[in-house]
Amino acid sequence: MRNNPRIGIIGGGIGGLTAAIALLRRGYDVSVYEQAAVLQEVGAGLQLSPNGVRVLCSLGLEEALLGIGFEPEGKEIRLWNTGDTWKLFDLGVVSRERYGFPYLTVHRNDLHQLLIKAVERLSLDAIHLDHRFVEVERNDAGGVTIGFDGKPSASFDVVIGADGVHSKTRELTFGSGPAKFTGIVAWRGVIPMELLPPELVKPVGVNWIGPGGHVIHYPIRRGELMNFTSVIERQDWTIESWSSPGTNQEYHDDYPGWNREVHAYIEAIPQPFKWALISRPPMAEWVRGRIALLGDACHPMLPFLAQGAVMALEDACILGRAFEEFETIDEALAHYQAMRIPRTTKVVQGAYANTERFHNPTLADPAGAQAYVDAQWAPEQVIARYEWLFRYDATSVPLTTDAAVVASQA
């Protein structure tokens, strides 16, 4: 880029911090504004598929990432009531062989702290805490001024809104947009491994599928913890917050008839949390003037492809490359938007499609379930659903605004 623009990033989560690293490594002047007084992510697990791991490795974070993560030996599909098990091929050593990078599971806070340290190594004063973003204004010079509650405003050549699913940047720039309760409630908990009996300490990712709900668990933090997440179809809880506590008994009650192993995990969770899953249609526009969105601010998705955080990592990578490869801010943002909307829209739609696949009524009958799983999780079906995701290389895919080329890359 001809000039060295000043870049303001709203939001100090995984997407905002990764964007900061991608831009700081290229020598840009970056400031990150976070409303929290202390940078601390919600305690839950994340799956990082090879396409996301590739991005983090390209930013020089491979050694640190492997030090905080866990590499599952494989993946299993299990039937909700009988516990019947089908082994898949897409994790473990197969991931490295097939895609060049491992499939990792991490504690969200561990990844968050890793990214904070990486930003601070590049610029010690880039992160500004306790700054609640409240207003944005385009100034006469073509830049953007952002205002904060009780803090001085700041002006930049470009502003990136990476402020999550409840994005204030999106609201002020594009409007709130439609949101609809899916009729699905999610639960989560993190279990210290020492609280589990040996038969439940499994070094694999497991997806229990059943009529009206599913359960996922996998080790995180080098295998010291078990992340346990599940969803169930129910209509009586519509609060979209990851920090609403529930009780173990309520959790049990949501899964009547499910396998005893599922209930053993639920019983071992020190404190379960629940939240409503809200569906939002993909946005057709992420950039307006010198303001652009990134991550959940522009493509929130249901957690049924394990790609929410990974898409934010890809966004950050493409954004950094666009600023390096094009001469003006407007060109960079145009290419960023053109490259990312088709791919993330496809992911949003794919995650939604998995709702029916994981919760199909056919799974209520063990005989029907066998045929259903054999069909839906046959190797060729798994390849069709995931190959286009995992092989995508945000670090080298050609940046273009040609719609046909972009569609083929997505």
Which of the following is catalytic: 28, 103, 218, 255? 218
Residue 93, classified by CB atoms within 10 Å of its CB into exposed (0-12), middle (13-18) or buried (19+), is exposed
Neighbour tally for 323: CB within 10 Å: 25
Furthest C-alpha separation in the chain: 68
Contact yes or no for 57/38 (Cβ under 8 A): no
- Confirm whether 218 is a catalytic residue: yes
CA–CA gap between residue 245 and residue 400 (Å, rounded): 45
8 Å CB contact between 280 and 177: yes
Question: DSSP letter string over 94-124?
Answer: HHHHHHSS--EEEEHHHHHHHHHHHHHHH-T
Closest CA to 31 of 39, 19, 40: 19
Q: How many CB atoms lie within 10 A of CB 280?
A: 19
In whole angstroms, how far apart are CA 297 and each of 160, 240, 251, 283, 315? 10, 15, 30, 10, 11
CA dihedral of 178, 179, 180, 185, whole degrees rounded to 10: 170
Tell me the C-alpha distance between 111 and 134, whole Å. 27
Backbone dihedral angles phi then psi of residue 273, each to the nearest 5 degrees: -125, 155
Q: How far apart are CA 19 and CA 11, in angstroms?
A: 10
Residues catalogued as catalytic: 218
